[in-house]
Amino acid sequence: MKLNVTLENQLLPNIYAKYAPDNYRTNGMPTVNFPVNISDIPTGTVSLSVSLIDYDAVPVTGFPWIHWLAANLPVANIPENLRATGTATFGTNSTWHNVQKMGETANPDINQAYIGPMPPDKTHQYTLTVFALDTKLDLQDGFFLNELRNKSQNHVLATAILDLPARA
């Protein structure tokens, strides 16, 4: 399986990250995902899942920052603004720590959505992973990364990984 994401000047396009225009934001955060072209999806694939994780966030936050989790995607390219299609189950991203630690109100449009890269210190590499699965996963909106990993065991037909840089 192969992934392709169109970059601008070797970086994730601004509209999907820190410099997104207002119409690509929710409560000031970039929430419209970039499209992903997927080729060579294995025969027998029933659904796809996706994660976008910033491992470069560890020195800044103390942990890898989860920007996007989605499961039960159709076996096709991932369109821009997947959430608007209603065709996937969305997991909880790392903004959840604000709800837990700072008493903010949970908002699925933020906490269970794509949150675009907003590196505070330098260009970060964002690890996009797409899994081809032989089933739909028994997950509900708001699932966590550990649940995605556990439910995916023994169902992964192929995995594709692509590192995407985004500017500070």
Report whether 29 contacts 98 (CB < 8 A): no
Which CATH number, 1.10.3720.10, 3.90.280.10, 3.40.50.10860, 3.40.50.300, labels domain 2-166? 3.90.280.10
Domain borders along the chain are 2-166
Model confidence, pTM: 0.96
What is d(CA 123, CA 127) in angstroms, rounded to the nearest whole number?
Answer: 13
pLDDT tops 80 at residue 97 = no
- Residue 125 CB partners (closer than 8 Å, separation 6+): 54, 55, 56, 163, 164, 165
Q: Above 80 in pLDDT, residue 136?
A: yes
| Average confidence score pLDDT of the chain | 96
Express as a percent the part of the chain with pLDDT over 70. Answer: 100
Residue 154, amino acid: N
